[in-house]
Each structure stands twice: as C-alpha cells, then as structure tokens.
Structure 1
Amino acid sequence: MKIRTATIDDLEMIAAVEAECFPAAEAATKEEFAKRLQHYSDHFWLMFEGEKLIAFVDGFVTDEADLTDEMYEKAELHNEHGAWQMIFGVNTIPACRRHGYAGELICRAIQDAKKQGRKGLVLTCKDRLVPYYAKFGFVNEGVSDSAHGNVVWNQMRLIL
C-alpha cells in the first residue's frame, strides 16, 4: 500500500470514494472537495492499492478548538499555522474494510500533526465509532453541536 498526500488530479477518485462510503446527506460533493484540495491538499492522506484509491483521511487546520459544520463548508477557513488538525472524513471503500487501512491513515495524520507542532486532532463520529477512535487515544467530549446530515455526532479529541 502506498500513502501520499493529495493533488487536484486526485479529485475524481476522492469524490468517488466519498460517495461509496457515506450517504448523500453526509457526503462531501466533488465541488466541496475541489475547494478543499485548493486550500489544504497536504491534509489529505490517500492510500492506494496499485493505482486504485482505497482509503483516505482529510481535514483542515485551525486555531478553533471545536469542529463546526461551517468548517466543512468553508475550506478557506484553513489556517496552515493553526493549533488543531481537524479530521472531516475517514473513508475506506467497503471492499477493503477491516484490514486496518483507515487506522494506518489515522496514525499518519497523528504523526504529521505531531511533526507540525499541533496541539492535537479533533473529529466527530457516530456513537458506534467512539470505541474505534478511542483506540488511537481520542477522548469523547460528548455530543457535538453539529447537525451535519441530520445525524447525532460525538466530538472526540486527541491531545498531543
């Protein structure tokens, strides 16, 4: 497996994987990914099996301590010198799940955040995924204010 950060040339593959991994109400659109890639392509960690994108993790950096819905919508809020690495999406195509690929990408995002001197990482997840992220050291801070996709989200934080 090869891991690298993204370029705008990866847009089609990223949008396809997202559409395969999330319901339409929760998935980012191709247009949203295009904006994200313009502002923070170095904060997309992509995993390939040969030439096929099978998993990715993405999110931007900010000084804001909590992840908000506005962050998903406004890629221009990215601050490369910010304190917190937000994680917006953890995606693995269904055929490749349960092999530890997402975990490898999460570990890479954590390593990069450490190298970059961040305070930590923040993500939101559904109840069933709280134990999964806890394995990486994320602590559940309770229900988020997010209304994204009309789902209840828990905010989790990993302090470095």
Structure 2
Amino acid sequence: MTTPTFRMATPADVARCYQIEISAYEGDEAATEAKIATRIAQYPQGFLTMELDGEVIGFINSGCAHDVVMSDEEFKELIGHDADAPNVLIMSVVIDPAHQGKGYASLMMRTFIERMKDMGKQTIHLMCKERHVDLYRRYGYQYVRPSASDHGGMAWHEMVMTL
C-alpha cells in the first residue's frame, strides 16, 4: 500500500476537494465549492489535504475563533475567523468514498491534531452525527452536547478536544 502524504491545500485543489465533499456528504450537508475556495484562500494552514499517488483523496478543513459557537452558519464562510485564535473549529473531515474503510481518516485526523498542537492551538471543536460520536471519542474528543445547529436538516453533536 502506498503511504499517503499530507500538505496544505492550494487554490488548485478547490475542484477536487469539492468533488470529494459532495460525494461523501448528504444533500445540503456538503459545503459549496465557493465555501471550499474561501476556506483554502483564507486559512490554508487549517486545510489539510491527504494525497495518495499524487491525487487528493481526503481533507480536513477548519477555522479558528476566540469564542466558539458551533451553530454559527456564517463561520462556515470564515466570518469571524481569526488565524491567531486558540480554538480550532473543524468544518469537514472527509475521505473519497473510493478510499473509505482503509484507516485513512484516522491517519488524517491524527496528523491534523499534531499539526494543530505544533501551531500552539488549545482546543479542537467539531460537530458530528450521532453515529460518529464514539469514533471521535476514540481520537480523544469529549462529548459536549447536542448542537443547536440543524445544518443540512440534520441532528448534530458537539465535541471538543483539549490539546
């Protein structure tokens, strides 16, 4: 098996990341191509891509805030983002469906966590569906509460990791 490599996203990755996003997320849950482009342009340090044989097969993107409000829809466009803030908010964790089930998401999450530690961040926050709560607990996240967000018309759960 080829070992994946990791790097910050660049504007050239927008179309491929959008393709992965819409293939892996349901309906309105997926970010638009414009939101992905904004996230890459405004905070590439928080947009980690995973490549296999030169092709992006997954990514995690995020923003940073001083005050975390996970249900803030504007933040998904990085409104209120501050690269120097200590709290990381993950917006997408996604692997191309053709590469799921091979342990890549775990490797990507561990790499992302280490990079955020190296950047001096204090916490990582995310929202997930109920079926993923135990998965994120295994990475070291703690359950916070059901989220006020109904993003994509779905029920979400807020989780946090202290670095």
TM-score range, shorter chain: over 0.9
- Indicate the percent of aligned positions where both proteins have the same amino acid: 26
Using the size of structure 2 for normalisation, the TM-score is: 0.93
Q: Which residue of the other structure, out of 122, 127, 131, is the alignment partner of 2:125? A: 122
Cα shift at 1:114:
1.1
Q: 1:55 aligns with which of 58, 62, 84?
A: 58
In the TM superposition, structure 1's runs of 4+ consecutive aligned residues that sit over 2 Å from their partners are none
What TM-score, normalized by structure 1, do the two folds share?
0.94
> In the alignment, what sits opposite 1:81?
84
- Aligned partner of 1:13 in structure 2 is 16
Is the contact made by 1:83 and 1:119 (CA closer than 8 Å) also made in structure 2? yes
Q: In the alignment, residue 74 of structure 2 is paired with which amino acid?
A: E
Distance 2:102 2:45 in 1: 24
**Distance in structure 2 (CA, Å) of the matches to 1:124 and 1:94:** 20
Are 2:48 and 2:60, in contact at CA under 8 Å, matched by a contact in 1?
yes
Match of 1:45 in 2: 48
Distance between the aligned counterparts of 2:15 and 2:68, measured in 1?
Answer: 31
Aligned residues: 159
SS in 2 for 1:47: strand
2:109 to 106, 111, 114: 106
Task: Write the distance in 2 (CA, Å) between the matches of 1:64 and 1:26.
Answer: 23
Rounded to whole Å, the distance in 2 between the matches of 1:111 and 1:77 is: 24
AA aligned opposite 1:115: D
Gap regions ≥5 residues in structure 2: none
| Whole-Å separation in 2 of the counterparts to 1:57 and 1:39 | 15
Structure 2 SS opposite 1:146: coil
Q: Tell me the distance in 2 between the aligned counterparts of 1:125 and 1:6.
A: 23
| 1:67 Cα deviation after fit | 1.7
RMSD: 1.1
Map 1:139-150 onto structure 2 (within 5 A): 139-150=142-153
- Cα deviation for residue 21 of structure 1 reads 0.6
Give unmatched runs, 5+ long, in structure 1. Answer: none
Aligned twin of 1:70? 74
